[in-house]
Structure 1
């Protein structure tokens, strides 16, 4: 998934903070934490941990998807959610029987996450503990 740069800050600015803006293929810009030094225009992967996703979100960075599978795991439920242009995301959510949202397979769901929750890293740095949201996107600022 490749995207073009929106702005061109000095490269020094990219290494002074923990966050970088990343443009996804569909033009969505998200703030991601960098794990290593990254440069303007560099192709990176962006990933999210399943427990960092908020289902039924109305605020924050949002993806929209369709629940494809739901598995109950005691006090949590694990969801497989298909997101157009990204693929399948896994999400873990706490649930109490009779309380809260339980999303059924086939149901649409908004997926939120806090700014800076995604991780941006060069493709070779993926240690397999995160699910990939986007591959070969570009750092824009």
Structure 2
């Protein structure tokens, strides 16, 4: 099983908190929920630094990356996103690092919460957990709502 870390998300109103496991290849992108603009800018800058490293010649890339993800994060949050992450998947190469990856694939994971007119949300959550568990390549758990 792939190592994972726990993520927690809650709606903009601070209610409906839930948690989920995310493989460690995903790196959380700040959404700025519940923080002031300066703090959000610091979070985005930290994300860009972590992605590109602190080498001086990469400063233009860090600035562009931070600006791009800042605007994207604000749009996602305005549309109800509560969690956003970038997954980085090296393809090829060797596990011991002696041969570099042939290429790197990237994808995003976004979680949002929507109010639905569902007569039995517990049953819906159980159905989703069962569908995920049947895949056989991960783990799904659900608890009563």
TM-score, normalised to structure 2's length? 0.23
Structure showing greater radius of gyration is 2
Structure richer in helix, relative to its length: 2
